[in-house]
Amino acid sequence: MGDDHDPPAPGPLPPWERALADRRYRESHSSGRLGRRAQPPTEGLSVADLVKKVADEDEPQDPVPYDPDRTEVIAPITDDAPRPGGSVPPSGTVPPDNPAPPPSLPPPGRPDPAAVDWAAETIETAAVPQAVGTGTLTRLALSRNRRRKRLRIAARSLVALVSVVALGATGLVWGYLRTTEGKFSQIAALDIESDDIIDAHGQLGDETYLIVGTDTRVGASGEIGAGTIDDAEGARADTVMLVNIPADRSRVVAVSFPRDLDVERPECEAWDNDTGTYSDETYPSAYGDKLNATYALGGPKCLVKVIQKMSGLKIGYFVGMDFAGFESMVNEIGGVNICTTGPLEDGILGTVLPAAGNHNLDGRTALNYVRARHVDSEGNGDYGRITRQQKFLSALLRGALSGDVLLNPGKLNGFINAFTRETFVENIDTKSLMTLGRSMQNVDAGAVTFLTVPTAGTNEWGNEIPRTDDITSIFRAIIDDDPLPGEERSTPAPGSAPEPTEPSESTMVDALPPSEASVQVSNASGISGAAATTADNLSTYGFQIYSVGNYTETSSDTLVRFGPGYGAEAATVASAIPGAVLEETSGLGAIVEVVIGSRTATTVVAPADPGAPLDATPARIGKSEPVEIPSDLAVVNAGDATCE
């Protein structure tokens, strides 16, 4: 073949005879291996042109002039080549001097996401796994599958049922508690800030209830034998019982007070038993009053004041009920089993129990059993009646602890409904009763002891004369958690508080800021209000007043008592009370007790500046003296089920 050839024939040229496109244009629209394939064949060039082309590879080339007679070489289309759509300009188009950079193309093997239809045609999907084998299960396998399916269905059904029951039970309990809560009749009775409270720190965590049974002559109580308003107007405290439960719940002590006990009545607001409210009228204080008459005039508030002063206990709960309420509660639990050694005949009520032996008492019979006070065989009617009341409550407690009531939903629900319906209370609600019940689950009946306040005969008005010293000893033992006669409980663990030791050398300490000392002020001066006045004066200097009350003993000196390890606090307090005597003792914990003595008036001055040196050497070491409990106390233990 030569370099010369015949001129092209006029008219449209076939593709192999068309003019070549500019080389840079072709290179800009080619990539990789395809670009190298698209180089124009050398057969279309002369030898001179080829030599010149090779020599000019490294030099920038001017654009090839457009020649319509030159042959265009079209690159073959392969699978890797981009689809047509504007990559090759139409024939007759002059390429620009500075062509724009080629558009970005997806990597080889990845289709353009914009070309949806084309991508759907080219993307290959993974093969779906196919089952192999015959695909037929044996009878045993089919049976196992059916059994597993049934078990799954049963398990899911059971879980769903349990969830529904739990949700329903929760709703019922919540609704029951809310309904029960609204049935309590709340009244005003308590005085928890009273100066008559002794050793408030020692009673921390204790629960003390005052339970009162009234004998109002009106309404249902009059219909069941309480009497008429012609006998006595208003309501009287027929039964008064103080129940103490220590913080460790190791025992229960219930102390009964004779209804005719001779007491000093404080000034009290007038009580209207019908409405359960107090009026603006007040009754002056009086000596020689009967305990039940105190309630008739001043109601629960006046009675709480009298009992709190006599006992020194901090009464935190009040429960009152009448005869009708008592009868209803006994009937709800199916009666109470009582054993007697003989028949019970009352001069007014008649025959209560016809013979000795075991008896299941219904509500009406139980009410007569605990009320009868004209029984010739018992001598002192009030004490015989109190003993029967205590035995009855012991039997009721044994039945409850045995599960006869607590584990019977019908009886328990009826008892709670009757209790909430027939009582008037203060600081009592369903939650507190449930908390108390849970905390006493492990209390044995033998750890529940009933005592009766001792008396020394009657005076000219027929009032029972209280044995004051013996009563003080009983309640001091209760506050100090000392053993009581007839009590059967496990020995408590020894206390963790160290016993004070005799001072050897003087102990110097640095004064503390007053705010770091917690002070309990107790009155032993015999002057009413002395402790409260001293507490107010100490608080003005920044001392933290823990409580104010009466001292359990007498003291002529003003004392600052403290436990081991709290000498700095005690010395700081003593620096504010000139003449105070430091006494180290046990049982106070972090509390510093100031005892107002009777010898001189107690004055309060500014305490020492913080950091000032102070002498914390105790002048005396306090040692607890054993409490002498009278040997002739009337005691009933709830665990004693003998019939004597």
Give residue-wise pLDDT tens across range 174-219.
455 555 566 778 899 999 888 888 878 778 889 999 999 887 644 4
| Confidence grade of residue 452 (pLDDT, cut at 50, 70, 90) | very high
The pLDDT, as a whole number, for residue 208 is: 94
Name the CATH topology of 186-219+231-485+629-643: Aminopeptidase (3.40.630)
Q: How far is CA 119 from the centre of its chain?
A: 66
- The token pair at 65 is 């002039």
Q: Mean pLDDT lowest for which of 85-94, 350-359, 363-372, 512-521?
A: 85-94
Identify which has the larger pLDDT, 126 or 534.
Answer: 534
The pLDDT, as a whole number, for residue 72 is: 57
| Confidence grade of residue 506 (pLDDT, cut at 50, 70, 90) | confident
Please, what is the average pLDDT of the chain? 76
User: What's the predicted TM-score (pTM) here?
Assistant: 0.61
Q: Is the pLDDT of residue 308 over 90?
A: yes
The pLDDT, as a whole number, for residue 561 is: 92
> Which segments of the chain belong to CATH 3.30.70.2390?
508-621
- The token pair at 602 is 């107690």
Identify which has the larger pLDDT, 156 or 490.
Answer: 156
pLDDT tens string 579-588: 999 998 877 7
pLDDT tens string 248-306: 888 999 999 999 999 999 999 999 988 889 999 999 999 999 999 999 999 999 999 99
pLDDT tens string 153-186: 777 777 766 666 655 554 444 455 555 566 778 8
Identify which has the larger pLDDT, 524 or 506.
Answer: 524
Provide mean pLDDT across the span 36-56.
54
The pLDDT, as a whole number, for residue 177 is: 52
| Confidence grade of residue 229 (pLDDT, cut at 50, 70, 90) | very low
Percent of the chain with pLDDT over 90: 28
The pLDDT, as a whole number, for residue 278 is: 93
Residue at 598: amino acid letter:
S
> Do residues 582 and 618 lie in contact, with contact meaning Cβ atoms separated by under 8 Å?
yes
> Which segments of the chain belong to CATH 3.40.630.190?
186-219+231-485+629-643
Provide mean pLDDT across the span 236-240.
85
Long-range contacts of 34-41 (CB under 8 A, 24+ apart): 34/75, 34/78, 34/80, 34/81, 37/75, 37/76, 38/73, 38/75, 40/73, 41/73
Question: Who's near 512: CB < 8 A, 6+ residues apart?
Answer: 568, 569, 572, 610
The pLDDT, as a whole number, for residue 44 is: 53
> Do residues 291 and 256 lie in contact, with contact meaning Cβ atoms separated by under 8 Å?
no
The pLDDT, as a whole number, for residue 542 is: 94
Q: Mean pLDDT lowest for which of 130-139, 327-336, 391-400, 551-560?
A: 130-139
The string of DSSP letters for 361-428 reads: E-HHHHHHHHH----GGGSSHHHHHHHHHHHHHHHHHHHHHTTTTTT-HHHHHHHHHHHHHHEEEES-
**Crossing angle for the helix pair 363-371 and 381-401, to the nearest 10 degrees:** 140
Cβ burial, residue 72 (10 Å; 0-12/13-18/19+) = middle
Torsion angles phi and psi, residue 304, rounded to 5:
-60, -40
pLDDT tens string 77-121: 555 555 554 444 555 555 555 555 555 555 555 555 444 444 444
CATH dotted code for 508-621 = 3.30.70.2390
- The token pair at 489 is 């409980």
The string of DSSP letters for 300-363 reads: HHHHHHHHHHHH-----EEEEEEHHHHHHHHHHTT-EEEEESS-EEETTTEEEESSSEEEEE-H
The pLDDT, as a whole number, for residue 222 is: 46
Q: Is the pLDDT of residue 7 over 70?
A: no
Angstrom distance (rounded) from CA 551 to CA 559: 11
